[in-house]
Amino acid sequence: MPAVLVHPPMFLVVIATLAGAVAMLTWRAHEARRVVTVRSIIIPPLGMSTGFSMFAVPATRVPLAWAFAALALGAVLFAIPLVRTSRLVQQDDQILVQRSRAFVAILLGLVAVRFGLRTWIEQYVSPLQTGALFYLLAFAAVVRWRLTMLRDYRRLIAPGHASSAAASVVASHAQ
């Protein structure tokens, strides 16, 4: 007998969304106090990539066009606020993430948009497919964000790097 999938109650969805936002804010605050390394930039997307194993379960699979649309939306639209609010700065011999006052507001805005999209999309596809689409969206946003951070990190540690080069890296996100 096939399993019947039911949408979770709305209050559980709201609680889970808010818990995710709080976890992201806590993680981001902790990350801003630590020295940035190549490893600290690369590990989050690698850890997230294990989520692709969900597609081994047929109920989570979505048409390729939907998957590419979710990936594109994440990489193009949802990554922009993350990239713009994450600046790497060099202090002495260390590279740190400079906090942005707008990050909390932007993150809460993204959570609200994601919640609205999820509510709308769940009307048309199963909860498992909705989760798969939002996983792809988040993965693409995180990968683009971290690739941008890696590029900026490499610019900051490049031989012959001067403080003017650091200013240009910081300014490249402000545009």
pLDDT tens digits, one per residue of 85-109: 888 998 888 898 887 778 778 878 8
SS3 of residue 37 by DSSP: coil
User: What pLDDT score was predicted for residue 4?
Assistant: 57
Cα 58 from Cα 139, distance rounded (Å): 20
Q: How far is CA 1 from CA 4, 84, 127, 128, in A?
A: 9, 49, 19, 18
- Give the pLDDT score at 149: 95
Three-state SS at 147? helix
| pLDDT of the residue at 3 | 56
pLDDT at position 142: 94
Q: Is the dihedral of CA 139, 141, 144, 145 positive or negative?
A: negative
Pairing of strands 94-98, 87-91: antiparallel
- Counting as low any pLDDT under 70, the low residues of the chain are 1-8, 28-32, 161-175
Measured CA to CA in angstroms, residue 85 lies from 18, 98, 122 at distances of: 21, 8, 30
Q: Would you list the domain boundaries of the chain?
A: 10-174
Output the CA–CA distances (angstroms, integers) from residue 77 to 66, 113, 137, 156, in the order listed: 16, 11, 10, 26
